[in-house]
Amino acid sequence: MHPDTAAPDLSTGTTEALLPMTDVTSAPALNIVLLGPPAAGKGTQARRLVEDWGMVQLSTGDMLRAARSSGTEVGRRVAEVMDRGHLVTDGIVIDLIRERLGQGGARGGFIFDGFPRTLAQADALEEALREMGMRLDAAVEFRVDDEALVERISGRVTCAACGEVYHDRTRPIPADGRCVRCGGTEFTRRADDNAESLRTRLFAYYKQTAPLIGYYHCKGILRPVDGMGGVEDVARAVAATLRLPAAAGA
């Protein structure tokens, strides 16, 4: 959040202080992290926040790919590391984040996607934001049932063009075979979208990333959301916990 923008009070989980229905320009600028296990719906809800509230999604994967061909100093460092087949360090990722934050252009704030994953990364992100006169306003935790996730992920299909997510049972591909978001006609299934792979990924999440829930709880910015509802229900819950204005037609 920019230092001259007043921060909304997110000290409680109630929705009594929700702003009245209005347009996106009245929404407060928020910097948030999305937490939750694989297939919890983080990507889907991040896209909704981008589309509905003008937020900018900072995906570490996307930033690394863009930086590699950017020609900037940080980009050259990224290319050198990746060309050697090594993992990019936390320090380089933080430098990329600083570079993007410095460009501005996020009227609704920033969504941190895929970072932080560890407590050390969370500390580094907090320090980077502080140095830029910004802060993290909320960490939205999508609470889900592991076994329900297995069912959810086993039928997941993604638009190859824009990443819109469908499901064989709960949200099938439209009858005309076109993505409702971009009109694309090619759809893919991830090779690891199966029960065995998901349980392996869940174990890694609970071991490495779940400690962030306690970390952000202690800082008073954890915002739990029931992630087991439909896309629209979860989107409304996210907007409510962030005190965003009611979306038109909601």
Residue 205: domain span: 30-55+106-242
Catalytic residue among 98, 117, 143, 199: 117
Count of structural domains within the chain: 1
Whether residue 135 lies in the annotated active site: no
What is the pTM (predicted TM-score) of this model?
0.74
Write the pLDDT tens digit of every residue in 155-187.
Answer: 889 999 988 889 888 889 999 999 999 999 999
19 annotated to bind ligand: no
**Is there a domain that residue 199 lies in?**
yes
CATH code assigned at 196: 3.40.50.300
Q: Which residue has the higher pLDDT, 72 or 110?
A: 110
* Cis before 20 (ω within 30): no
Tell me: is residue 112 an annotated ligand-binding position. no
From the list 107, 178, 190, 219, the catalytic residue is 190
Alpha carbon 193 to its chain centroid, in Å, reads 19
Domain contains 173: yes
Query: Looking at the predicted structure, is the pLDDT value of residue 37 above 60?
Result: yes
Q: How confident is the model at residue 26 (pLDDT cuts 50, 70, 90)?
A: low
Does 219 carry a binding-site annotation? no
The single residue of 98, 143, 156, 189 carrying the catalytic annotation is: 156
The C-alpha R_g of the chain, in whole angstroms, comes to 18
- DSSP character for 244? P
Residue 218 marked in a binding site: no
* Ligand-binding site membership of 229 (annotated): yes
190 is known as an active-site residue: yes
**Which one is catalytic: 171, 181, 199, 201?**
201
Mean pLDDT of all residues belonging to the chain: 84
Residue 68 within any structural domain of the chain: no
Is residue 107 part of an annotated ligand binding site?
Answer: no
Whether 44 is covered by a domain: the verdict is yes
- Would you call 156 a catalytic residue per the annotation? yes
Whether 236 sits among the annotated catalytic residues: the reply is no
DSSP assignment of 82-142: HHTTPPPPHHHHHHHHHHHHHH---TT-EEEES---SHHHHHHHHHHHHHTT----EEEEE
Active site residue 152: no
pLDDT one-digit tens code per residue, 220-250 = 999 999 999 888 999 999 999 999 875 433 4
Q: Could you tell me if residue 24 is inside a domain?
A: no
Residue 3 counted as domain residue: no
Does some domain include residue 6?
A: no
> Would you call 4 helix, strand, or coil by DSSP?
coil
**Any domain includes 18:** no
Which two structure tokens, joined as six digits, stand for 230?
């439909």
204 pLDDT exceeds 60? yes
Which of 1-5, 18-22, 29-33 has the least mean pLDDT? Answer: 18-22
